[in-house]
Amino acid sequence: MWHPDLQSGPLPLYERLVLTMARDIQTGLLAPGAKLPPQRDLAFRLGVSVGSVTRAYAEAERRGLLSAHVGRGSFVRGVLPAVPDVPAVERGTAMGQGRSGVIDLRCNTPPPVPLMPELKTALATLMARGALDPAVHYIQGAGLPHVRAAGAQWIARHYGLDFDAGHLIQCNGGQHGIALVFSSFCSPGDTVLCESSTFYGARMAADHLGLKLRGVAMDDDGLLPEALDRAAAETGSTLLFTLPTLHNPTTRTMSEQRRQEIAAVARARDLLILEDDAYYAYSERPRQILSYAPDRTLYLASLSKGVCPGFRLAFLALPPHLPRERLMRGIRALGYCPPALGALVFSQWVADGRIDAIAQAVQAEASARWDLARSMLGAFIARPGASHSPHAWLPMSALEAERVTARLLRAGVEVTPPDASSVSPQADTGLRLCLGAPEDRDELGRALGIIAGAITGHGSVDRDGII
Q: Whole-angstrom Cα distance, residue 166 to residue 148?
A: 7
Q: Does domain 13-76 have CATH number 1.20.1740.10?
A: no
Q: What is the pLDDT of residues 118-166, one digit of tens each?
A: 999 999 999 998 999 888 888 888 899 999 999 999 999 999 999 999 9
If one counts every other C-beta atom within 10 angstroms of the C-beta of residue 157, the result is 13
Number of H helices, E strands in the chain: 15, 15
DSSP state of 422: B
The pLDDT of residue 55 is 87
Instruction: Give, for all 467 residues of the chain, the pLDDT tens digit.
Output: 888 988 887 788 888 898 898 888 888 888 888 899 998 889 888 988 888 888 888 888 877 888 887 677 888 885 443 433 434 444 444 444 455 579 999 999 999 999 999 999 999 999 998 999 888 888 888 899 999 999 999 999 999 999 999 999 999 999 999 999 999 999 999 999 999 999 999 999 999 999 999 999 999 999 999 999 999 999 999 999 999 999 999 999 999 999 999 999 999 999 999 999 999 999 999 999 999 999 999 999 999 999 999 999 999 999 988 888 889 998 888 888 888 999 999 999 999 999 999 999 999 999 999 999 999 999 999 999 999 999 999 999 999 999 999 999 999 999 988 888 999 988 999 999 999 999 999 999 999 999 999 999 765 444 443 33
Q: Is 3.40.640.10 the CATH classification of the domain at 119-354?
A: yes
Q: Angle formed by the axes of helices 398-411 and 50-62, to 10°?
A: 30
The fold adopted by the segment(s) 103-114+357-456 is Aspartate Aminotransferase, domain 1 (3.90.1150)
Q: Where do the domains of the chain lie? A: 13-76, 103-114+357-456, 119-354
A 10 A CB-CB count for 86 gives: 11
User: How far apart (Å, rounded) are the C-alpha atoms in residues 417 and 415?
Assistant: 6
How many C-beta atoms surround the C-beta of residue 377 within 10 A?
17
Question: In this structure, what are the phi and psi dihedrals at residue 428, rounded to the nearest 5 degrees?
Answer: -60, 145
Environment class of residue 100 by beta-carbon count within 10 Å: exposed (0-12), middle (13-18) or buried (19+)? exposed
CB of 424 closer than 8 Å to CB of 215 = yes
**Main-chain phi, psi angles of 110, to 5 degrees:** -65, 150
Residue 286's nearest CA partner among 405, 393, 161 is 161
Estimate to the nearest angstrom the gap between the alpha carbon of 221 and the chain centroid. 21
Note the pTM of the prediction, 2 decimals: 0.80
- The model's pLDDT over 209-224, given as tens digits with 9 standing for 90+, comes to 999 999 999 999 999 9
Report the 10 Å Cβ neighbour count for 176: 24
User: In terms of DSSP bridges, do strands 430-434 and 168-171 run parallel, antiparallel, or are they unpaired?
Assistant: unpaired
C-alpha neighbours within 13 Å on the C-beta side of residue 128: 7
User: Euclidean distance between the first and final Cα of the chain, in Å?
Assistant: 29
| Beta strand 73-76 pairing with 66-69 | antiparallel
